[in-house]
Amino acid sequence: MHSAYVVAQFIDASLTLSRCYSKENCILLQELFLRRTYHDLINKICDPLQSECMRKQCLDQLYKPLLALKRFYRQYDSSQKKYYALERELRVLSHEFNPY
């Protein structure tokens, strides 16, 4: 329960900060915070020193920054190559480090 709250708060804070950068037209900072949130969650999932509960929560809630990145790349990058690379990375790592 506690880890679910911590992960959700982390993601919400990051998405809020990303929205603030979007309003200020700081596109690079918006992408940076979305990607950083995504990669921080990936790193927690792949870290065997993290509790299984924390790793599971990170994997369960990873869709939030991933969808935000999908919307970002749809708006600013018509090819979406960066998004597809992140999606491919997630597929590989989730099979390798699946905490279930």
Per-residue pLDDT tens listing for the chain (100 residues): 588 899 999 999 999 999 999 899 999 999 999 999 999 999 999 999 999 999 999 999 999 999 999 999 999 887 788 999 999 998 888 877 765 6
Cβ count near 86 (within 10 Å): 21
Cβ neighbours for 46, distance < 8 A, ≥ 6 positions apart: 93, 96, 97
pLDDT at 62: 93
Residue type, 43: N
pLDDT at 1: 59
Nearest to residue 94, comparing CAs of 58, 50, 40, 68? 58
Three-state SS at 41? helix
pLDDT at 71: 93
Cβ neighbours for 56, distance < 8 A, ≥ 6 positions apart: 99, 100
CA of residue 97 relative to chain centroid, distance? 16
pLDDT at 100: 61
User: In the chain, how many domains are there?
Assistant: 1
Model pTM score: 0.88
Domain with 18, as residue range(s), is 2-96
